Amino acid sequence: MANQGSRRVFALVVASTLVVAACGGSSDTAVSSDSTGSATTAVAAGVPTTAAGVELAGVCPDRVVIQTDWNPQAEHGGVYELVGDGYTVDADRKRVRGPLMAGGRDTGVDVEIRMGGPAIGFKPVGAYLYENTDIMLGFANTDGIVQRYATLPTLSVMAGLDINPQIIMWDPATYPQVRTIADLKATGAKVRTFEGIAFMQYLVGSGVLDKAQVDGSYDGTPGVFVAQQGKIAQQGFASAEPYIYRNEVKNWGRDVAYQLIHDTGWQPYAQSLVIRSAERDTLAPCLKKLVPVIQQAQVDFLDNPARTDTLILDLVKQYNTGWVYSQGVADYAVAQMRKLGIVGNGPDQTLGDHDEARVAEFIKKALPIYKQAGGKVKDDLEPSDIVTNEFIDPSIKL
């Protein structure tokens, strides 16, 4: 692991780079989220300090790398909350690096958050971790963890979202009789999703939808849905698409109806923070301190999202991938995460822990579906293989 001295050397290098960038227009631009230039080491008024004062230097890597699964968005707010002022942005490689903060205080190491989705060729993060071993933590859903465990095992050390915000949505004017995803089956409507997405295997395998309805051509943009004038259904996020389609998509401008995938009985944890399973013992000293910091960051973000939303919107602009994200969407996402319990306390009133009974039920449901689809799975998979509450601070909650 890198030491504290190397981090301070990096800080000096960054400072020098800023001067060069100002003169030469480097693609690695440095940005400060504090336009006043005031000191940022003090804890801001009203910011919880449960995890403040944590020292990670010498215990964690000098650079903690977190791989997300999509463009920057408010659903990722808990990890972007970690990034302190004076951060640097690599717009070409779609990553941001800054001091890793806990309750407004520097922990002595840096955090680097990398964009997923198009930036990594839409690869599942759980698999991408094995191609890029400098990544310490990555976003993965329980379904993907189960699906790939036999060949690419990962372990969830924190449940990022308690309820998966993914939905299937449809036009209520075209399909007034449809109230649930299962109701779409009788309509024969195509249901457009990303190719190979895990929940679609469940919806088809359990008979909720017909295989003939599956359209794996979704690319995250609204063009086809609009062009079809609501004749197709489509995947989305309860924390984004209903607002976007009503307020920001030209030639649509009206409500969509939807159901959470969670409410069909497919209930993985979403955006869990995972490590490569074999690194559990090696990373344990770091995770024992780091995971509670991330738990608290999730709470802090929901309580006061303004600063981190500014960072997220700045990154969207600088990355310039074609992804459109507004303050309105960010505000809506935070409201929906609270309203729908997308971020919430588990059964024992702890944020970020795993309910092993829920995980066991999910494994029981998922393994036959993946085997039927021809996947290689671990038949005797147990919850303890894929999730742990070892590093969770049970006192941290919303």
Digit-coded pLDDT (tens) for 53-70: 799 999 999 999 999 999
R_g (Cα) of the chain, nearest Å: 21
Per-residue model confidence (pLDDT) at position 288? 98
Per-residue model confidence (pLDDT) at position 52? 58
Distances (CA, A) of 94 to 3, 29, 116, 317, 320: 26, 12, 9, 11, 9
Residue 333 has pLDDT above 70, yes or no: yes
The DSSP call for residue 69 is S
Per-residue model confidence (pLDDT) at position 347? 81
Structure tokens at 264: 């069909």
Residues 285 and 57: their CA atoms lie apart, in Å, by 11
Residue 374 has pLDDT above 90, yes or no: no
Mean pLDDT of the chain: 88
Mean pLDDT of 190-195: 94
Residue position matching structure tokens 């004062």: 53
Q: Is the dihedral of CA 134, 136, 141, 145 positive or negative?
A: positive
Per-residue model confidence (pLDDT) at position 51? 52
Domain 4-161+273-386 matches domain 166-264 at the CATH topology level: yes
- Label the pairing between strands 88-90 and 28-30: antiparallel
Residues 319 and 314: their CA atoms lie apart, in Å, by 9
Residues 16 and 6: their CA atoms lie apart, in Å, by 15
Residues 270 and 141: their CA atoms lie apart, in Å, by 4
For residue 20, count CB atoms less than 10 angstroms from its CB and return exposed for 0-12, middle for 13-18, buried for 19 or more: exposed
Mean pLDDT of 64-87: 97
Per-residue model confidence (pLDDT) at position 311? 98
Mean pLDDT of 64-81: 97
Residues 164 and 366: their CA atoms lie apart, in Å, by 16
What would the CATH number be for the domain defined by 4-161+273-386? 3.40.190.10
Kindly state which CATH superfamily the domain 166-264 is placed in. Periplasmic binding protein-like II (3.40.190.10)
Per-residue model confidence (pLDDT) at position 6? 38
27 C-beta neighbours (distance < 10 Å), count:
11
Summarised one tens digit per residue, pLDDT across range 120-176 is: 998 999 999 999 999 999 999 999 999 999 999 999 999 999 999 999 999 999 999
Residue 19 has pLDDT above 70, yes or no: no
Coil/strand/helix, residue 185: helix
Sheet of 233-237, strands arranged across? 214-215, 191-192, 233-237, 166-170, 257-260
Contacts of 228 (CB under 8 A, 6+ apart): none
Residue 27 has pLDDT above 60, yes or no: no
Lowest mean pLDDT among 187-201, 255-269, 354-368: 187-201
Residue 11 has pLDDT above 70, yes or no: no
Residue 345 has pLDDT above 80, yes or no: yes
Q: Length of the chain, please?
A: 398
Sheet of 154-158, strands arranged across? 28-30, 88-90, 95-102, 105-114, 63-67, 137-140, 272-276, 154-158
395 C-beta neighbours (distance < 10 Å), count:
12
- Each domain of the chain, given as residue ranges in start order, spans 4-161+273-386, 166-264
Residues 142 and 386: their CA atoms lie apart, in Å, by 8
pLDDT interval class at 44 (50, 70, 90): very low
